[in-house]
Amino acid sequence: MDQKSSNHNESEDNIQKAIESLKNKRFTSIRSAAIHFKIPKSTLTNRMAGRQSRSQSHESFQKLSNAEEKTLVRWISRLTATGYPATPGLLKEMAQEILNQRVIFASSSTPPSFQSNHIGQRWIYRFLDRYPKLKGTYSRKLESARHKEATFETISAWYSTFQARIEERHYELKNIYNMDEIGYAVGETESTRIIVDSTLKSNWKVTAGKQEWITVLECVNADGGSLPPMIIFKAQNTNTAWIPTNTPSKLVFLNKQ
């Protein structure tokens, strides 16, 4: 999104907030609302009188109608909230399906041309320009098992119990360790390009679960110390490329089972 488009989106967002504030009687005059939201009084006056926004006036030139695009915006927001955000490819596919169904319904007797019935890659950029709360970003993976258990109630209960045990037993921080396990699939990227509702906090992407090819065990204590990680390779034979030549032999072990 270029600076000009960004400024326009911010201005339109402020106009919508000003209109909503006037309807809710937060401001008693157009002038006071215009000053508060830093928009021209004439613009706000025209919009309150029913003049269309630039995006509304350009709707006839868009692939999808404003109503159809807002449906996609709500869909993206729901996916963001559930931890399964949309990828650009999925967004493009959904937009194409909406366009196909509308065109088929409206012109069943005359098949449309490819150009008028095709969602291109640049459509995604223009779509994001029109809806500034949507952002392209990279996901952080969260395994589905953890996602389902990561509720406020579950986490709060765990910390309450943990704190009670510390106070009861007087454990020292250096003796409190946390061990975690994570799996890596060779060649799999940890982040994926996604489209999210930026007004929501999370940009996690839930994955199906741990891979078994390479497992890493890490152990860190509450005082900031750590143990050397354990890296587990699952294979029939040892590959010398897995282990650096200067690794002490006592740190390497094999289990044929």
Tokens representing residue 150 in the block: 């990561």
Among 203, 194, 204, residue whose Cα is nearest residue 90: 194
Average pLDDT over residues 130-157: 77
Instruction: Answer whether residue 144 shows pLDDT above 80.
Output: no
Confidence at residue 73, expressed as pLDDT on a 0 to 100 scale = 94
- pLDDT band with cut points at 50, 70 and 90 for residue 251: low
208 or 175, which is more confident: 175
State the pairing for strand pair 140-143/204-207: parallel
Tokens 């030139």 correspond to what residue?
A: 61
Residue that finishes a domain, picked among 34, 51, 68: 51
Average pLDDT over residues 139-151: 66
Residue 73 maps to a domain: no
Residue 239 maps to a domain: yes
- 194 in helix, strand or coil? strand
Examine the domain organization and report whether 245 and 145 are in the same domain.
Answer: yes
Q: Determine what percent of the chain is predicted with pLDDT higher than 70.
A: 69
Residue 58 maps to a domain: no
Rg of the chain in Å (alpha carbons): 27
The domain in which residue 27 lies consists of: 1-51
Residue 193 maps to a domain: yes
Confidence at residue 220, expressed as pLDDT on a 0 to 100 scale = 94
Could you give the CA distance from residue 196 to residue 231 in angstroms, rounded to a whole number? 34
Instruction: Answer whether residue 217 shows pLDDT above 80.
Output: yes
Confidence at residue 134, expressed as pLDDT on a 0 to 100 scale = 93
Contacts of 206-209 with C-beta under 8 Å, sequence gap 24+, read: 206/83, 206/84, 206/141, 206/142, 206/143, 206/144, 206/147, 207/141, 207/142, 207/143, 207/144, 208/143, 208/144, 209/143, 209/144, 209/145
| Residue 180 near residue 217, CB atoms below 8 Å | yes
Confidence at residue 70, expressed as pLDDT on a 0 to 100 scale = 92
Residue 207 maps to a domain: yes
If 0-12 CB within 10 Å is exposed, 13-18 middle and 19+ buried, where does residue 212 land? exposed
255 or 198, which is more confident: 198
Residue 63 maps to a domain: no
Residue 160 maps to a domain: yes
Instruction: Answer whether residue 108 shows pLDDT above 80.
Output: no
Instruction: Answer whether residue 45 shows pLDDT above 80.
Output: yes
Residue that finishes a domain, picked among 51, 69, 91: 51
- pLDDT band with cut points at 50, 70 and 90 for residue 114: very low
Average pLDDT over residues 142-171: 79
Q: Determine what percent of the chain is predicted with pLDDT higher than 90.
A: 19
Residue 122 maps to a domain: no
Q: Considering its fold, how many domains does the chain have in total?
A: 2
- pLDDT band with cut points at 50, 70 and 90 for residue 1: very low
Could you give the CA distance from residue 142 to residue 146 in angstroms, rounded to a whole number? 7
